[in-house]
Amino acid sequence: MADNISLTNYTVGADAYAMLSTICARLGTKLLPIGGKRALTAAYPIMQAALSQGSEVTLLNGFWYGGECSQSHVEVLAKHAESICADIIAGVGGGKAIDTAKAVAQKLNLPCVTLPTVASSCAAVTPTVVMYDNKGRYTETINLSFAPSHCFIDTDTISCAPVEYMRAGMGDTLAKHYEFMFADDSEDASPSVAMAGALSEACVSQLLKYGGQALEDGTAAVESDALDRVVVSNIVTSGYVSTLEGKEYSSSLAHAMCQGLSLLPHVRKNYLQGDLVAYGVLVQLVADGHEGEAAKLYPHLRSWNTPVCLKDIHVTLDWTVLSPLLDEVVTVPSVAQKGISPEKIFEAMGKVEALADAKLEAPAHMAAEDVEEAADEMDFSAMENIVTDSTEEADDEAEITTTFDAFEELADFAAEE
């Protein structure tokens, strides 16, 4: 069977939106932004400036995506986009907002461009949409016909976003490599899959080398080379991996752990997906027999303030609590194919707790070889309890006070709240 690969073109830099007119004019004449409230507040004025002078593209008022990428929200937005004759859909914001815009574009058979305002996921360049119900519970992943046509990455805007989003994106990006290795039992891979594997390794090396500095610069809202490298890894390289590798190599145990833990209401409400996926990577490595690799990765995650154990997300290592969640985790096809049982995952979770109890620390810029040396010398028997600070999810779509009136909230969504 022939590979049909659609990769998104991208523009990255502090003036990335300056290319909006040139690129969108090839696609249509009426651009409808769909996104998060804060994202539209930040991005719309820059879009407006880029399309104001002599552009062939009209920028329509933006619309809030509804807070969840759900089927009902997609239906409402698609109906409205059709009523105002939009012929290009722009996804603005984070993963759920962009996925909603992609789904609307697919439903209407329109081109889609993306403007990520946070570096929390690769949604801006992938031909997949993760669907939820209106309460935020995962329902399904949909494969689209094509990836977005173009992605505009304004690094100034992203550097001003809450740094927790970039950190979550780093966790999700790391998982691309480890989930690829988890699923790949054969060296006889197709050229596309082999390319995905090589790119996934590049993601890991970039994040381990530049991740700490990027988080420092993001905290200070300073654009830098380190931040730019991590942003491109989180959004573009990671997205290309997902597109090239296909569904059989993605979303393995690490993502399944995220979905399982998100069945707990307080976890679903307070923690970003990428942070949970990063914890899931540690569990996956241990469950798959790579405890040494987990020990080497752990100090980096800890130095980034990523949740590295159940204590960090206020969950107890209790079989009664966790077994129903783990029963769901093992239904993921790639996990089921490995024959990994709920009991084995629970055992791996216990070993990850021991990593945290051993208090293996690393400064943000510890050299990779020093991290490995520290991991090799770690005492797994140390059992003093420590609980690191957990960072609650900054609600990108919370009610905000603003004088900016260029986005609208459809009455159908207001009625839900």
Ranges 36-40, 189-193, 399-403: which has the least confidence: 399-403
Count the Cβ atoms, other than its own, within 10 Å of residue 99: 28
Residue 415 burial by CB count (10 A; 0-12/13-18/19+): exposed, middle or buried? exposed
Looking at residue 78, what DSSP letter applies?
Answer: H
Q: Which amino acid is at 404?
A: F
The model carries a pTM of 0.83
Of the pLDDT bands very low, low, confident and very high (cuts 50, 70, 90), residue 285 is: very high
Q: How many domains does the chain have?
A: 2
Residue 34 burial by CB count (10 A; 0-12/13-18/19+): exposed, middle or buried? buried
Does 189 have pLDDT greater than 80?
no
* Stretch 351-360: mean pLDDT: 83
Q: Pick the residue with more confidence: 30 or 415?
A: 30
Q: Which residues have a Cβ under 8 Å from the Cβ of 154 and sit 6 or more positions away?
A: 13, 14, 15, 16, 17, 43, 46, 115, 117
Distance CA 222, CA 386 (A): 32
pLDDT attached to residue 63 = 95
**CATH code assigned at 324:** 1.20.1090.10
Has residue 386 been placed in a domain? no
Instruction: Specify whether 183 is located in the same domain as 140.
Output: no
Distance CA 197, CA 203 (A): 10
User: Could you report the per-residue pLDDT of 145-185, keeping only the tens digit for each?
Assistant: 999 999 999 999 999 999 999 999 999 999 999 988 887 65
Instruction: Specify whether 149 is located in the same domain as 204.
Output: no
Has residue 52 been placed in a domain? yes
Residue 171 burial by CB count (10 A; 0-12/13-18/19+): exposed, middle or buried? buried
Has residue 391 been placed in a domain? no
SS3 label, residue 112: strand
pLDDT attached to residue 137 = 82
Q: Which two tokens stand for residue 128?
A: 């997949």
- List residues bridging with 129 in a β-sheet: 142
Of the pLDDT bands very low, low, confident and very high (cuts 50, 70, 90), residue 66 is: very high
Instruction: Specify whether 140 is located in the same domain as 44.
Output: yes
H or E, element range at 212: helix 191-219
Contact 17, 75 (CB under 8 A): no
Has residue 313 been placed in a domain? yes
Sign, CA dihedral 64-66-67-68, equals negative
pLDDT attached to residue 395 = 37
**H helix runs in 262-381, sequence order:** 265-270, 273-287, 291-303, 319-329, 333-338, 342-357, 368-376
Instruction: Specify whether 223 is located in the same domain as 92.
Output: no
**Residue position matching structure tokens 């049982």:** 341
pLDDT attached to residue 193 = 87
Which structural domain range is residue 188 located in?
163-376
Does 401 have pLDDT greater than 60?
no
pLDDT attached to residue 359 = 61
Has residue 385 been placed in a domain? no
Of the pLDDT bands very low, low, confident and very high (cuts 50, 70, 90), residue 249 is: low
Does 381 have pLDDT greater than 60?
no
Instruction: Specify whether 49 is located in the same domain as 135.
Output: yes
Strand 128-132 relative to strand 138-143, pairing: antiparallel
Does 67 have pLDDT greater than 70?
yes
pLDDT attached to residue 382 = 27
Q: Which amino acid is at 72?
A: S
Does 268 have pLDDT greater than 60?
yes
Q: Which two tokens stand for residue 215?
A: 């988080």
User: Could you report the per-residue pLDDT of 88-137, keeping only the tens digit for each?
Assistant: 999 999 999 999 999 999 999 999 999 999 999 999 999 999 999 998 88
Backbone angles phi, psi at 91, to 5 degrees: -90, 125
Does 371 have pLDDT greater than 60?
no
Instruction: Specify whether 247 is located in the same domain as 98.
Output: no
Mean predicted lDDT score pLDDT of the chain:
85
Instruction: Specify whether 126 is located in the same domain as 171.
Output: no
pLDDT attached to residue 410 = 63
pLDDT attached to residue 374 = 34
Q: Which two tokens stand for residue 328?
A: 């769901």
H or E, element range at 54: none
Q: Pick the residue with more confidence: 3 or 227?
A: 227
Of the pLDDT bands very low, low, confident and very high (cuts 50, 70, 90), residue 247 is: low
Contact 157, 221 (CB under 8 A): no
* Stretch 258-267: mean pLDDT: 93
Instruction: Specify whether 129 is located in the same domain as 188.
Output: no
Q: Pick the residue with more confidence: 395 or 351?
A: 351
Distance CA 134, CA 140 (A): 13
* Stretch 276-288: mean pLDDT: 96
